[in-house]
Amino acid sequence: MATRIKTDEFGPERVLEVYDQKTGMHGVVVVDNTARGPGKGGCRFVPDVTTKEVMGLARAMTWKNALADLPFGGAKSGICADPKKVDKEAYIRAFARKIKELIPAAYIAGPDMNTTEKEMDILANEIGNPMATTGKSKGMGGLPHELGSTGYGVFLATMEALSFKGIDPNSTTVAIEGFGNVGTFTMKFLTEKGAKVVAVSDSRGTIYDEKGLDYNKLMETKTKEGTVTKYQSPHGAGSAKLLDGAELFKLPVDVLVPGARPNVIHAGNVNEVKAKIVVEAANIPMTPAIEKKLSQRALVVPDFLANAGGVISSYCEWKGMSEQEMFETVKNRIVANTKLVLSKTKGGYARSAAMSIAKKRVREAMK
């Protein structure tokens, strides 16, 4: 007897576990809901991925795509292996062949953990259809996430939250966890608008300068040294302080952007968060219970609203738009949806308002 999958009114519609005897590849695709269009969601390549985890991620994509008002449903996939220990291309090609029946009518893949434009190119090539994936290289007509669409969306959501709270961007201090693709672009756009980013962290620690961090110098340091912690402040010796990574969440800033790992704000540090606004650039940076507690004294912009720039970019690629058209579309949708959610937010708990909008849109499509 097959494992019983727990379902509800929204899905999942299909759960497909696949195996390939020749390569040893084991993967899974979960198509959660296709009422609004084909299921859209990334393909991750990690050794500990589970069907249950992929089901949760697919449901999150249902809500994210609905809230972004895209003609996509929710889906997700995973390949269970360490990409450093197997033939990555062979696994991607085997996975593509096994799930071909779902693509692109029910599932459209995209980059996720340990998959990039290169893997999306391979998957589309194996399927024989460029519409099989998004996040492809420019050479295959793609709009790679390296353009910064997610960070741009986080920036836009932050600006709307500042406006909602009546805070002037020019007098705003910001702390950003994570200095990868999302964190770097979030900082770039915020500093261009006059905000002062005073703290940034990576896996080695936090660099903090209350006078403000220089974006170009920080990028140069990260590129040359491989870490932001080697940053030397142009404000003089002793201005920039090296702190533990966890200290970033306790700093006296206006805006906190958790943008890397899950559950970084928890029962042990939630009472020490001093920010007036928390913008969730990462997925699930805190549990719903912790988020609700923090919302009593800070405005928390939920992940599936703030970080939707990437999936909006995917939609633009799917529609054959240019880079310029993509950025304009991200702007229009993030701004409109953030305004809508904040207008319906009671207290600081924006997730409740965001979820009710997403569920209403999916239910209407299901009818």
Q: Give catalytic residue positions.
A: 76
Q: Hey, which residues does 285 pair with through a beta bridge?
A: none
In degrees and rounded to multiples of 5, residue 255 shows phi and psi of: -125, 130
Q: How far apart are CA 296 and CA 18, in angstroms?
A: 45
| CB-based contact 147:185 (threshold 8 Å) | no
Q: Structure tokens of 226?
A: 């491989």
CB 186 within 8 A of CB 173: no
The closest alpha carbon to 157, from 357, 323, 359, 336, belongs to 336
Instruction: Confirm if 32 and 301 have CB atoms less than 8 A apart.
Output: no
